[in-house]
Each structure stands twice: as structure tokens, then as C-alpha cells.
Structure 1
């Protein structure tokens, strides 16, 4: 009887193990290429209008880095059978945390996109919740039949695989944090034509690019700028939160671009007093236009960062750290 039960349960355990492990690795992987996006998402969760734990907002990025690394490491650990009891207990804690967030988002309609799979796959709050319910059931099933999970080899190999998974994840995240995401899943990726992205599709869905504006004190200049052959947008979504070391680099780049015939505009969601103070302190050779902060954060993860346009098509995006790599 026990052997019959074992023959039935063991294959189910292995299938569930692969499903859970792969989903956690995928979830972590699509977020580690863009940890800033996950930071913004958790800042939204921590905000006054959602969970009202604003004291955690300054720690959002650290929290995201730890969470992403854990997702990848635990997913890999489950697949290679490393310390299965500890791994599954850790997965229980994480899935219960996710389950609460997705339920809260769905029930109170607070955060319309949980960011479970970054910007790669968009799920509604209820879809995210049901996905986490299924994962929770699978994890508790695996925990019940933990004895059927064996290491791929009774050597140091499982630990070595996890070490390399964490190391590679850390390198990818470092690149994304100090430069730009190595894969861009957003509507403003290089090669995108912004005017085309603003058009409604035949089914009446909201276009992928919306709330795009470039306003001065009098009017929206977006249409004019999107028609230019050589236009540069210096994006500083929130000047007060900018990396101020970047402004001298931006100034040098902007002057060179203007000498080569480019029209350069700053774009921010900050107030005029902060704009004037920043322009004075760094002697920036361009004026600032206004755009919604969420839109600017979506356009580029750097603050400040640069986007180069040719007749509305994004031909280059760079963090301020990489402006020397641009050939004008």
C-alpha cells in the first residue's frame, strides 16, 4: 500500500516542485533586470493611501533587493533539492506575504498592478491573488510530502549552483541599478515611436503610451518636439530625489549636443522653485518642461537620464553615468 501511494505521490511532488521553482525563478528574474520598477511598486504599497506605512519607503529598494535575491535563490534551491525543509518553510513565508498584498490590492482596489512579474507580464489584482493561492497550495503540498524531494546530487553541487545563481543575479541587478535595465519591458523602450504608441487600437483599449506631455508655462510642446529630427530629453522625474552628481555630466553632454544641432529639454515633475535652484546651482543650458512623474519613471529608470528622439522615435536611452558612450 505504501509503495502504491509513493508511486502516486512522488511524480506529483516532482511536477509541483518544478512549477513552483520555475515560477519563483521567473518572478525574480523579470524583477532583477529592473529593480527600480519594483522599488516604485513597493513605495506605492507603503504609501499613505495604501498600507500607510510610509516610514518604510526609504528602505523600499533594500527590501526589493533582498526579496528578489530570495525568490531566485529559493526557486533554484527547490529545483536542486537543497535543504528542502528550510527552503519550503521560507517559501511559505514569502507566498503568505505575497498573498496578503495581492488580496489587499484586489479587495480594496488599491494597487491595480501588483508587479508580481515586473513589467514583463501584466496581471489584474484578482489574477495575481488566484495565482498566489495556487502557489500556496502547491507549496503546502510539497511541505507535506517533503520526504520525496531529494538533492540532485549528494555533493556540494546544489550549494554551488545556488551560489552562482545568486552571484549572477547580483551582477545583473548591479547593472540595472547603476546603469539601466538590460531588458526593457516598458512602453518607452529603444525603437519605440511615441506618436504611434499614443494611438488607440481598433478594440478601444488604452494605448500603451498615455499621459505623455511636455508642458511649459503656456502650452504642451509634445507634438512639436516629437516632430524634430534631433531632440534630447533630460529626464529628472523628481529633482529633489535626483543623483546630483549627474547634473555636471548632463550639462557637459547637453552643451556638446547643442553644438551639434540638437534641441535639449529638461523634463521633470518637480515644482518651479526647485527647478530654478537646480538650474542656478549647476548652470544647466536648457529649460525644463513638465510631465507626470509616473510617466517619467516609466520612460527611464535613471534620475537624471537622457532620451534621444528622432521624429518621435526613441533611438537612445542612457543613465547619466553612461553619457560618454553616446555618439551624437
Structure 2
């Protein structure tokens, strides 16, 4: 169990930091994705739409902080509970998107890595299992720094996240994965590759033959 917890701790911590940082790099883009989830055709939570950007910033900074706190072993009980609640929420959203085909891209990794709804759901199931292991074996999540160093590391991560977020909100993303980033040829990016699957057209005509409708 100790080794399982150790492996899960490193994997979950690093993945949360990477996932959070990619979205933190473009919180406005992630807020658009949240608005899509809040829309009447999906979760029908339209009253959250005006606050999508604020929620986006809070979620991505929390995601990075939880990854850092898990790795350094700070506030273990709070960290593990928060990770569990967050991944349960993410798993519900990705399952809902995949099963009902509502949101075709969850935005888990922004524009950097595109996942299909079922791929996102599978990723969240794996994370859910790993976080349950952390929850069951949280006594093995030992600090790697002293008490003051853990606080300083977490505070430093918070300050860096807030500063970085403020910068990208007032400028362009530092690492721009968007298809319309500076220097991108939009026309070229919209061309269809020669080896892409060809569209299939299916035509149906309804005829009245001897008083009976027939579809041809």
C-alpha cells in the first residue's frame, strides 16, 4: 500500500499541476468551456454563466495548488478530500458529455491536448482510482519538507499562479496552443488533409407509389 500511495501521489500531483497550468495559461478559453457546460442545452445552469471566468480562475488555481500540496505533503486530509471531490465532479461531467454527446471536448488540457469525451472519462476513472488509493492510504503521505517549508512552497505556488493569471488575462497566453495564435496561417490550418476521411452524403427521396409512401 505504501508503494501504491507513493506512485499515485507523484502521478496525481504532477498531472494536476500540468492540467491546471495548461488551463491557467488561458483561463478565458477555459471559461468558454464552462459556459458551454452551463448552457441550457447541457446542464441548464445559466445563472453561473456570468461568473464563468471567476469560476475558471478559481478552479485552475486550486488544481495547481492541490497538486503542489499533495507532492509536498501539506494539509494531507484537506488535500485528499479536495482531490476526491474535484475528480468526482470532473468524472460526472466527462461521463455526461460522453454519454449524451453534449460537449465534445471537455477542455481538460485546453488547446494543448485534445481528448474525445470517452477518452476524458477514461482518464478521470484512472485518476479516481488513484485518488481513492491516496484516500485509503493517506497515512503514508508523509511531508517531504518541514512545516514552514511546506507553507512557503504552497504560498509561493499561490502567488505565482495569481501573478501568472493576471499576466495572461492582460496579455496573450505565454504558451499559445490556440489555432489562431500569432504566426499561425489560419487559412492553411483550415485545409482538409488529403488522407482525411471523406464526407459521406446520403440522400433519401419519398415517393408516393400507388398510394403508398416509399423511401428511395
Instruction: Give the secondary structure class of the aligned counterpart of 1:156.
Output: helix
Alignment partners' CA distance in 1, 2:156 and 2:24: 15
Tell me whether 1:200 sits opposite 2:200 in the alignment: no
CA offsets 1:19-41 (integer angstroms, 9 cap, x no match): 00011101100000100000000
Give the 3-state SS of the residue equivalent to 2:147 in structure 1.
coil
2:53 matched residue in structure 1: 61
Question: Aligned residues, how many?
Answer: 198
Greater strand share, structure number: 1
Residue 10 (structure 1) aligned with residue 2 (structure 2): yes
Query: Is 1:104 the equivalent of 2:86?
Result: no
d(CA) in 2 for partners of 1:87, 1:190 = 38
Higher relative contact order (CA 8 A, sep 6+): 2
Structure 1: 5+ residue runs without aligned partners? Answer: 1-8, 207-328
Q: Which runs of 5+ in 2 are unaligned?
A: 199-216
Q: Write the distance in 2 (CA, Å) between the matches of 1:78 and 1:65.
A: 20
2:174 match: 182
Instruction: Show CA shifts across 1:194-231 (max 9, x none).
Output: 2321221132169xxxxxxxxxxxxxxxxxxxxxxxxx
Higher helix share: 2
TM-score, L = length of structure 1: 0.59
Distance 1:181 1:153 in 2: 32
Moved segments of 4+, more than 2 Å: none
Choose from 77, 85, 90 the match for 2:82.
Answer: 90
For the residues of structure 2 that align with 1:162 and 1:202, how far apart are their CA atoms?
A: 49
- Paired with 2:190 and 2:5, the residues of 1 have a C-alpha distance of 47
Matched, 1:114 2:97: no
Give the distance between the partners of 2:43 and 2:151, measured in 1 at CA.
37
Pairwise CA distance, 1:111: 0.3
Where do residues 150-189 of structure 1 align in structure 2 (5 Å cutoff)? 150-189=142-181
